Chains A and B, each alone.
Chain A
Amino acid sequence: MKRIAAAAIILAVLCAGAAFGKGTKEASGAGSSGASAAPAATTAAATQYPLAGNKKFTYWVELPANVNTYAKNLADVEFRKNLEKATGVKIEYQHPASGSVLEQLNILLASGDYPDMLEYTWPTYSGGTAKLYADKVIVKLNDVIDKWMPNLKAFYAKKPNIARQVKSDDGSFFLIPFIRDSDELRFTSGPVLRADWLKQDGLNPPETIAEWETVLQAFKDKNNAEGPFTGQITDNVQRVFVTAYNTTGTFYPDENVIKFGPVEPGYKAFLTQMADWYKKGLIDKNLMTIDRKYIDAAMTNGKGGSSYCAGGGQVGPYITTGKKANPDYDLVATTFPTLNKGEKVKYINSFEFTTNGHVVVSSKCKDVEGAAKWLDYAYGTEGNMLFNFGTLGVSYNMVGGEPIYSDLVMKDPKLSIAQAMSKYCVAPMSGPFVQALGYIQQYYTMPQQKAALTKWSTKDASTSIEPPVTLTTAEAADFAKTMIDINTYVDEMKAKFILGTAPLSDIDGFQAKIRSMGLDKALKIRQAALDRYNKR
Chain B
Amino acid sequence: MDQKNMTIRSRFLREMTKNGELYLIALPVIAYYIIFHYVPMYGAQIAFKDFSPSAGIEGSPWVGFRHFIDFFGSIYFVRVLKNTLVISATSLIFGFPAPIILALLINELRTRRFSRTVQTITYMPHFISMVVICGMIREFTSQAGLISVVLSYFGLPARTMLNDAGLFVPIYVISGIWQGVGWGSIIYLAALTGIDQELYQAASIDGAGRWKQTLHVTLPCLLPTIIVLLILRTGNILSVGAEKIILLYNAAIYETSDVISSYVYRRGLLNSDWSFSAAVGLFNSVVNFILVAFVNWLSRRTSETSLW
Enumerate chain A interface residues (CB-CB to B < 8 A): 3, 6-27, 102, 106-107, 109-110, 126-127, 131-132, 135, 137, 226, 233-234, 285-286, 288-289, 476-477, 480-481, 483-485, 487-488, 491-492, 494-496, 499, 501, 517
A92 CA to B292 CA, complexed, in Å: 52
Interchain CB contact under 8 A, B75 and A109? no
B251's partner among A18, A27, A127, A494 (CB-CB below 8 A) is A494
B144 interface residue, CB < 8 Å from A? Answer: yes
Tell me the number of A-to-B contacts counted with CB atoms below 8 Å: 172
A19 CA to B142 CA, complexed, in Å: 38
Total chain B interface residues with beta-carbon distance under 8 A: 65
For B57, list chain A residues within 8 Å (CB): 21, 23-24, 26
Interchain CB contact under 8 A, B228 and A6? yes
A8 CA to B142 CA, complexed, in Å: 43
11 pairs from A and B in contact (CB 8 Å cutoff): A10-B307, A11-B37, A19-B44, A20-B47, A22-B40, A23-B42, A24-B56, A26-B57, A106-B53, A106-B272, A289-B162
The 3 closest A-B pairs by CB, nearest first: A21-B43, A495-B252, A480-B271
For A480, list chain B residues within 8 Å (CB): 267, 270-271, 273
For B284, list chain A residues within 8 Å (CB): 17
A286 CA to B252 CA, complexed, in Å: 11
B266 interface residue, CB < 8 Å from A? Answer: yes
For B43, list chain A residues within 8 Å (CB): 19-24
Interchain CB contact under 8 A, B239 and A109? no
Contact flag A488-B59 (CB < 8 Å), given A3-B308, A17-B285: no
- In the complex formed, the residue of B with least CB distance to A494 is B251
Interchain CB contact under 8 A, A483 and B75? no
Interchain CB contact under 8 A, B59 and A27? yes
Contact flag A484-B266 (CB < 8 Å), given A26-B55, A286-B142: yes
B59's partner among A22, A23, A26, A501 (CB-CB below 8 A) is A26
- In the complex formed, the residue of A with least CB distance to B251 is A491
Contact flag A135-B251 (CB < 8 Å), given A23-B39, A286-B143: no
For A286, list chain B residues within 8 Å (CB): 142-143, 160
Interchain CB contact under 8 A, A501 and B165? yes
B142's partner among A17, A289, A481, A495 (CB-CB below 8 A) is A289
Interchain CB contact under 8 A, A285 and B46? no
For B250, list chain A residues within 8 Å (CB): 288-289, 495
Interchain CB contact under 8 A, B76 and A488? yes
For B163, list chain A residues within 8 Å (CB): 285, 288-289, 499, 501
B163-196 contact mask (Cβ, 8 Å, vs A): 1 or 0: 1010000000000000000000000000000000
For B39, list chain A residues within 8 Å (CB): 23
Interchain CB contact under 8 A, A19 and B40? yes
For B37, list chain A residues within 8 Å (CB): 11-12, 15-16, 19
B75's partner among A3, A8, A15, A517 (CB-CB below 8 A) is A517
Enumerate chain B interface residues (CB-CB to A < 8 A): 33, 37-47, 51-59, 70, 74-76, 138, 142-144, 159-160, 162-163, 165, 228, 232, 235-236, 239, 250-255, 258, 263, 266-267, 270-274, 277-278, 281-282, 284-285, 288-289, 292, 307-308
- In the complex formed, the residue of A with least CB distance to B52 is A127
A3 CA to B228 CA, complexed, in Å: 10
Most buried by B among A126, A234, A476: A126
Interchain CB contact under 8 A, B289 and A21? no
For B74, list chain A residues within 8 Å (CB): 484-485
Interchain CB contact under 8 A, A285 and B307? no
A488's partner among B236, B252, B258, B307 (CB-CB below 8 A) is B258
For A25, list chain B residues within 8 Å (CB): 56, 58
A10's partner among B38, B75, B232, B271 (CB-CB below 8 A) is B232
Contact flag A23-B252 (CB < 8 Å), given A10-B235, A484-B266, A488-B266: no
Looking at the assembled complex, report how far the CB atom of A323 sits from the nearest CB atom of chain B, in whole angstroms: 25
Contact flag A288-B55 (CB < 8 Å), given A23-B39, A488-B266: no
Looking at the assembled complex, report how far the CB atom of A107 sits from the nearest CB atom of chain B, in whole angstroms: 8
For B143, list chain A residues within 8 Å (CB): 226, 285-286
